[in-house]
Amino acid sequence: MGRTPPVLKSLRRKLGKSKILNTPETGVVYSSDVNWRGNPPLAVIFPECAEDVSVAVRIAAECGTPVSTRGAGTGMSGGAVPSNGAIVLSMVRMKRIRILEDEKIAVVEPGVITAKLQTEALKRNLFYPSDPSSYKICTIGGNIAENAGGLRCLKYGVTADFVLGTEFINPEGDLIAAGCFTDYDSPVDITPLLCGSEGTLGIIVKAALRLIDAPQAHLTMRAEFTTAIEAAKAVTAILNSRYSPCIMEMIDRQTLKAVTSFIKLDISPKTGAVLLIEYDEEADINRELGDKTSQLCRRFGATGLRIAESEEERENLWKLRRSISPSLTRLASGKINEDVAVPRGRIAELMSFVEALSAELNMPIPTYGHAGDGNMHVNFIFQKEDPAQVEAACQGVKKVFTEVIKMGGTISGEHGIGLAKRDFLPMQLNPVNMTLQTDVKRCFDPGTLFNPDKMLPPREVSSKHPA
């Protein structure tokens, strides 16, 4: 038995044993997110209130122990993976929700599951639109820290568009209020800086979220095309028509093939791409928009069109989208899922580029995603036991990044930078911007206590541009 590290002794003394776990099993479970695995944490702390977070952070700072914060661990870029020698703060026990109906505001703790907030809001005929596909398991803290997008952000915007204020713990263990939690007009609202900060600037312990009136009706439709290029052109045309769907998802041929080998779908085998579109206006407006969208899709070559006539049919149409992630995971031992985004008028170009790359690498690259936002998930599928395939996939990723930047797009549409894209960030940001990002981190967290290895390359590299 090794000696108990001083940080653990202090944490046990101040927080009590029931809030701390450091068994080998917890180490394994809490050392990864969906895509990334790191070393087991020194211990996992389960704070139950802001004061617990403050105490844990103070002790960690005194002992020079890094802190990695964790929501549900559904992140895809390594943000919740413990930094070397870190303690993990798991926020899952902080899950109180208070809804101020008259104000249309929800005041929540960070461990609240996104779907739970949506359900609570709906009970009052209110709506929290932010809906990452992982909404049934991910947390509000993780959504804010990743500035999560989702299906409906085409119409409603990303998580940051709903955050009115936060309270967070800084590396000294102090509670800082931002946005609507301040009782005076602070000169600069620092709330937006916390959105997308990936656990590197502060630990969010409370958030105020804007709610809107719940939509009263939905119309969901599926359009089938022969090629992804046709579908992509239809996306641009629908957006230019100002019909404002709340959701517009695109699924390419390779993704469809993976899903149909996993579940039974009523879809022609000749289909080369699918658009799933949803409107959430008044029922008669939805119907009119559905008809107009069908006409537009036909003009761009749609071979099959289906409009859900019941809630059961709507569920059936969405089943295709929900089955993508598990289907792709079954294809091979290795999968790299990149969430690039391009200007919406250039999705067809991106799809052509990916198809050509798939042929060049002789590797499946199923591609799907939030086409209405230009945010596409490009998945490299390979056998991870084969070094040549791993190398080819990594080269492919770099080619995609280079291409989307050339198109005026971004290397991460929603999954964040974390460990996954840290070393690629200088491809996207110029040296001045990189320095600014480093300065923001230094200003919030001068001792690099929070997620020290995430998002930004090590200091000496960050001012260099690879080009």
Ligand X SMILES: Cc1cc2nc3c(=O)[nH]c(=O)nc-3n(C[C@H](O)[C@H](O)[C@H](O)COP(=O)(O)OP(=O)(O)OC[C@H]3O[C@@H](n4cnc5c(N)ncnc54)[C@H](O)[C@@H]3O)c2cc1C
Binding site for ligand X (CB under 6 A): 33-34, 68-76, 79-80, 91, 110, 132-134, 138-139, 141-143, 145-146, 148-150, 198-199, 203-204, 325, 414-415, 451
Q: How far is the CB of 76 from ligand X (least distance, A)?
A: 5
> Of 93 and 270, which has the nearer Cβ to ligand X?
93
Q: How far is the CB of 145 from ligand X (least distance, A)?
A: 3
Element housing 256 (H / E): helix 253-260
| Ramachandran angles phi, psi of 66, nearest 5° | -65, 155
Q: How far is the CB of 354 from ligand X (least distance, A)?
A: 19
Q: How far is the CB of 54 from ligand X (least distance, A)?
A: 13
How far apart are the C-alpha atoms of 206 and 341, rounded to whole Å?
30
Strand-pair partners of 337: 379
> Of 194 and 229, which has the nearer Cβ to ligand X?
194
Maximum CA pair distance of the chain? 71
CB-based contact 154:372 (threshold 8 Å): yes
CB-based contact 108:50 (threshold 8 Å): no
> Of 151 and 357, which has the nearer Cβ to ligand X?
151
CB-based contact 372:247 (threshold 8 Å): yes
Q: How far is the CB of 168 from ligand X (least distance, A)?
A: 7
Amino acid at 363: M
Beta-carbon contacts of 312 under 8 Å, excluding residues fewer than 6 positions away, are: none
> Of 393 and 417, which has the nearer Cβ to ligand X?
417
What are 267's two structure tokens? Answer: 């879809």
> Of 344 and 415, which has the nearer Cβ to ligand X?
415
> Of 77 and 293, which has the nearer Cβ to ligand X?
77
What are 208's two structure tokens? Answer: 């105020």
> Of 222 and 415, which has the nearer Cβ to ligand X?
415
What are 186's two structure tokens? Answer: 């602070």
Dihedral of alpha carbons 447, 450, 453, 459, sign: negative
Q: How far is the CB of 149 from ligand X (least distance, A)?
A: 4
Q: How far is the CB of 291 from ligand X (least distance, A)?
A: 29
Question: What single-letter DSSP state applies at residue 2?
Answer: P
How far apart are the C-alpha atoms of 61 and 449, rounded to whole Å?
7
